[in-house]
Chains A and B, each alone.
Chain A
Amino acid sequence: MATNDSIKTTVADDVEITGTIKCGSNIRIDGKLNGDLSCAGNAAIGNSASIKGNLAVETVSVMGQVSGNIVAKDRIELKSTAVMMGDIRGKRLTVEDGVTFVGRVEVNPSGAPVQRPTQPGEAGHVAEDAASAKPTMPGQQRK
Chain B
Amino acid sequence: MADDDKPFVIDGFHSVQAVRRVRDKNPGTGPRVRESGSAPPTPEKQPPPDKPASQAPPARVGQTTMPTRHEIVCYSCSYAFVHTGRLHKVLCPKCRQFLNTQDLEITGAWNEPVETIGTVEIKPGAVFGEARIVANRLIVAGDIRLARVDWCKTLELCDGAIFDVERFGEISLVIRANAKFDIKPPLTCNNLDIMGELKATVKVKGNAIIRAGGFLRGELEGQHLTVEEGGGISGRLAIMPDKK
Q: Which residues of A contact B (CB under 8 A)?
A: 75, 92-110, 114, 116-131, 133-143
Structural contact, B106 and A140, CB atoms closer than 8 A: yes
| Least CB distance, A117 to chain B, in whole angstroms | 4
10 contacts between A and B (CB under 8 A): A97-B226, A99-B239, A109-B232, A116-B217, A126-B163, A133-B127, A135-B108, A139-B111, A141-B102, A142-B105
Could you say which interface size class chain B belongs to? 35 or more
Structural contact, B126 and A102, CB atoms closer than 8 A: no
| Least CB distance, A40 to chain B, in whole angstroms | 22
Chain B contact residues: helix, strand, loop or mixed:
strand
Structural contact, A102 and B102, CB atoms closer than 8 A: no
| Least CB distance, B209 to chain A, in whole angstroms | 9
Structural contact, A133 and B162, CB atoms closer than 8 A: yes
Structural contact, B226 and A129, CB atoms closer than 8 A: no
Query: Which residues of B have CB within 8 Å of A141?
Result: 102, 104-106, 114
Check: B184 CB closer than 8 A to any chain A CB.
Answer: yes
Check: B229 CB closer than 8 A to any chain A CB.
Answer: yes
Check: B93 CB closer than 8 A to any chain A CB.
Answer: no
Q: Which residue of A lies closest to B111 (CB)?
A: A139
Structural contact, B105 and A95, CB atoms closer than 8 A: no
| Least CB distance, A80 to chain B, in whole angstroms | 9
